[in-house]
Structure 1
Amino acid sequence: MTEVGWRKTPAIAAHETGPGPGQYSLPPTIGFVNHDYTKTTRPAYSFHRRLSDGLNIKDSSPGPCYYVEPQLTRFGRRGGPSYSMLARSKPTGQPQTPGPGWYSPEKVPPITQHRPPSFTMGFRTKYRLVDPIPAPNSYTLPSLLGLRVPNKPSSPGFTITGRNKHGGFSEDLSQSPGPGHYHSTDPNIYLHRPPAFSIQGRHSTPKTVFQTPGPGTHRPEEVTAHRTSAPAYSLGIRHSEFVTPLTVDVSQ
């Protein structure tokens, strides 16, 4: 409440610019999660849900025979890494140790006897997978061509570039058009136009109105204008082979 003269008026909350009491929150002192680090944490206990009433009640809590290590928490095991001593592991296979019969002492020459050096060719050894030393073919020598050779003197070098549009001998400073920029007038405009011809497509085959017969339609052998009838031929019956031939006596 503020006083204006002798009259008291209520304060307007919109004029207040500071946060209200509900804006401040302190960390809780109850529980384990987000606990106030300035306060000492007390022992915490949890409540189990109520078991159902009846005869078939199953107890889910461990009995006295179970012992929970104090290092086990709900966030995991508390403490640093630990190690244990295990039993000796079994060998993967039989050892390839030579027996007494593999040695031949009689083949060894006397120690005091002079012998020339001898060499044997063995198998190629396996490459090491982790070898930081590079192979001989990994080294490359710098190129001796060009101007940027670090340890060799070089003669003057020149390069050929493309023709520049500006500053070159072919640059047209006057910007005048050449002969190819002018368009010539068609002579048919101011001279007599010569005859012009065009090539068109082929016309279709002309179709005749009258059905004129061709040479194969005429049959001269069937013409009866100069004869009674056209020649006709017929085929008779086939005679039997066993008929007696006709014998005619010829007078002499």
Structure 2
Amino acid sequence: MDGPWVGTWRPHRPLGLVMAQFTTPGPKYSIPGTTGYLSHNPCKTRAPAYTFRGAKHPNAESCSPGPRYYIHPSITRNGKYLAPAVPMAGAPKAKIEVTPGPSDYFTERANKLLYRRVPAQSMAFRHEVKPALVPGPGAYTLPRVVGPNTVYTPASPCYSMGGKSKHNSYADDLAKTPGPAAYPKVELDIYNRRAPTYTM
């Protein structure tokens, strides 16, 4: 018998977890994490997630010329830009054309003139010019612009200067009763004590 041990059992390190050493239900239950999108802790607020996507693959058929074509810097959207420059060539030779001048035309030889006139070699009298039978400037009158009856301008208020009406005036007797002047003056001796009178 080797020491206080019974049988073939000897002290050794445990090969796995011993449930008797834990006061909790054990590692069977785990708290969800607070990072990531999947299996997030439902008790915590989940922040928006962004993905890191790779570069976009180039299309096989491109609709733009791309850098394969070289465009000259002087070509703009408004056309080709050229800086001001002085030509070094000689002056062009001007071609002189012989054209008729003003003295080569004769208006006197025209068959039809614009205004009627007496022939140059005629002894006849000039025709009397008949006056045109059209109304002159004084035949028309402009519409009035002052007063109540105007055509195209707004009329201002008009006030008449007529006399006063006798109907319902201050001198009209509306009550139709006698006034104070309709009764004669009563002597004071009639309703008061008569004073003594003296004769000379």
TM range (shorter): under 0.3
> Scaled by the length of structure 1, what TM-score is found?
0.20
State the structure with bigger RCO (CA 8 A, min sep 6), 1 or 2. 2
